[in-house]
Each structure stands twice: as structure tokens, then as C-alpha cells.
Amino acid sequence: MSGKELRLSTFLDPIDGRSLLLEADYGLMLGHFEKELNLRDVLSRAINAGVDGVIISRGMVKRLSELFLGRRAPALLLRADWTNVWRGSTHPLPAREHRYMSLTDAEDAMRMGASALVAYLFLGYRTDYDDARNVEALSELAVKCDEWDLPLLVEAIPAGERVVRENYLDALGLVMRIAVEIGASCVAVPYPGDMASLKKLVNSCQVPLLLLEELEAGVSRWQPSYDVLQIAQEALETGVSGFVLGLSTLLSEDMEERVRKLREVVHGGEPNGG
């Protein structure tokens, strides 16, 4: 067994092959919210409710390291990049053009004790040049992850003005496949809108496929609306390996209950093997 397989098993259960992750790097992308979160408190409650891993920024790792200590702690997945894609019209600094850049690498992630690096792959930028820069940055990251035996989770998302109603599903399949070809250990995508389309994605994805919680509408107005909790059981039956929860869950009043219900659907039983 390789080091990469061992690290992957810390957040992708080797028994059922499934995972429930929580993305908590919102501050890096968006800054503050009207409803400001006590991230330490929110993550503590989500961890108690049973998430397998938490995606977090480098700066927050240093401030919240105690949450990842111990045998029953969740896996630490480190955000590797930055984007302004999530800055919609209500943001203080709305994005005029989508931009992307790498922030850290596999060696840094290993020093911080991360189980994996997490990076975006967007397809649909205004120019082919910008698409190529994202692919290039992700490819360089994948090479370094292989050198350090570190898993790479790629969030593959159609985004930008070239993504339209007519090509949304094809763009989703394309960006997912590019992520696999680059060397992703697992891929996370938005729900395509129906189970038949999801099944096609699962069948063509040669690594574990996770579903992202519904994204901000501004990323692609053609993205179908969905509630992960409502589609979870049927999605797992198509072969999906789990879910990546995001800001909607973090900001929800019933966050813990939502995580517990999804934990039950994904793994069965109680958190920590109860």
C-alpha cells in the first residue's frame, strides 16, 4: 500500500468507499459575511456530527490545529489555490473577470500534516488562455502530489461566460475528465440535474466521484438547483462516493442535524463508529 492510499483512507472510508467532507475555506475566497461565523465553534460541531474531513485554508490550519488532533479527528485537507469566481454582484469587490492562482504545494501540505490537497479546475473562462493557465497550474500540482504521495482532490466546475444552457452538461463532463487525466485522486462536481446524467459521469470517472453542495448561482446560471440531502440516497445508488458540503451548510441554522442526516445516509450508524 502506498502513502497516497493510506492518506486517502483518512477521509475516504476504505470499508464503504465513501466520504463526507466540509469545505470551510470561505474566508479565503469571499472574506467576511453579514452573518459572521465563529469558525472554531462551527467546525467543532460539524466534527462532532460526523464529517470525515475538513477543507481549510493554510492560515486557518495554524489557528485551528487542535481540531485535527487525535485518532477520532477528521482528516485535514488543505486548500491549494485561490479564485475570485465566487464574488458575485453583491460582493464588495465583484469579479470583473474570473481569475485563478496557486497558493501552496504538496511539500508545504506535508509539513502541515494534510491528508490531501484540494484545488479547483474551472472550464469556461473568457479565453482559452485562461483555461490553459488553470490546467497548467493543476498539472504542476498533480506532479508534486505524486512526488510526495499526497492525494489531490479536484473540484471540477464549468464556470464562465462560455458555459451556456446548450453545453453545460458537456462542459461538466469535459472538465471532470480533464481533472482525471491530469492526475486527480478523486474529483468533486456539481450535480448535473438528473440521475441519468450523474450515472454517465460516474461511469466515465475513473476515480472516486463526489458531489458538491449547490454552488453560488453566479458561477454558472445554467447549473441546476438541488439539495444534496434530498438527492443523497439516490446519488449514492448511482455510484457517487460521497459529498462535499459548503457554505450553505456552514450558514444553516440546523447545520449539525443536516450533517448527521447526511452521515447516516453516507455511512450508516453514528459518528466515530457509534
CA–CA distance, 241 with 235 (Å, rounded to integer)? 9
The residue type found at 39 is L
| Confidence (pLDDT) at 32 | 64
CA–CA distance, 215 with 145 (Å, rounded to integer)? 27
The model's pTM is 0.93
| Confidence (pLDDT) at 273 | 43
| Confidence (pLDDT) at 133 | 93
Q: Tell me the per-residue pLDDT of 232-249, one tens digit each, with 9 for 90 and over.
A: 999 999 999 999 999 889
CATH 3.20.20.70 given to domain 3-273: yes
> Percent helix, strand and coil across the chain, each rounded to 5?
45, 15, 40
| Confidence (pLDDT) at 266 | 97
Closest CA relative to residue 156, chosen from 124, 125, 185, 121: 121
C-alpha cell at 258: 443536516
> What 3-state class would DSSP assign to 45?
helix
Residues of the chain predicted below pLDDT 50: 273-274
Question: In terms of DSSP bridges, do strands 81-83 and 242-245 run parallel, antiparallel, or are they unpaired?
Answer: unpaired
